[in-house]
């Protein structure tokens, strides 16, 4: 039996990380989380993730930079970025690179559908 998909969740807001971990776990995903983009890169160097969900605005490395770095480590990795911003050059660049952008507040079912669709 194939294990449930493993998803990396990165957001500098611990409450959002906790909420996403609980919600996505209820949908059958295995979830690993961090509030640090740098730690996320370390984790991705040791673990093969099936997908990643990232916040756009974080201290240090933003979600766009982190998405690019994660995809260098794992080409083709499905990456979704969550943001409260509606207009930003970062959003346009992310969408052009194949990263799915979700606008907050996001419906958990939209995240679930995205991950499942990407893993088919």
Q: Are 30 and 115 in contact (CB under 8 A)?
A: no
In a domain, 15, yes or no: yes
Distance of alpha carbon 40 from its chain centroid, rounded?
A: 10
**Per-residue tokens: 46:** 């040791």
Q: What is the pLDDT at residue 87? A: 81
The more confident residue out of 81 and 1 is 81
Residue ranges making up the domain that contains 106? 6-118
Q: What is the pTM of this model?
A: 0.95
CATH number at residue 37: 3.40.50.2300
The answer as to whether 109 is a domain residue is yes
With a CB cutoff of 8 Å and minimum separation 6, the contacts of 72 are: none
What is the count of structural domains for the chain? 1
Per-residue model confidence (pLDDT) at position 85: 87
Residue 34 within a domain: yes
Express each pLDDT in 9-43 by its tens digit.
999 999 999 999 999 999 999 999 999 999 999 99
Q: How many CA atoms lie within 13 A of 114 on its CB side?
A: 22
**For 74-114, what is each residue's pLDDT tens digit?**
999 999 999 998 888 889 889 999 999 999 999 999 999 99
Radius of gyration of the chain (CA): 13
């Amino acid at each position: 039996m194939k294990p449930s998909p493993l998803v990396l969740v990165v957001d500098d807001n611990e409450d959002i990380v906790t909420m996403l971990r609980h919600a996505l776990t209820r949908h059958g995903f295995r979830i690993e989380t961090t509030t640090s983009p740098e730690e996320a890169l370390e984790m991705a160097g040791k673990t093969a993730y099936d997908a990643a969900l990232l916040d756009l605005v974080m201290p240090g490395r933003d979600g766009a930079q982190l998405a690019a770095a994660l995809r260098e480590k794992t080409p083709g990795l499905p990456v979704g970025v969550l943001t409260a911003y509606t207009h930003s050059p970062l959003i346009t660049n992310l969408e052009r690179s194949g990263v799915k952008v979700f606008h907050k507040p996001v419906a958990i079912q939209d995240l679930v559908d995205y991950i499942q669709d990407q893993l088919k």
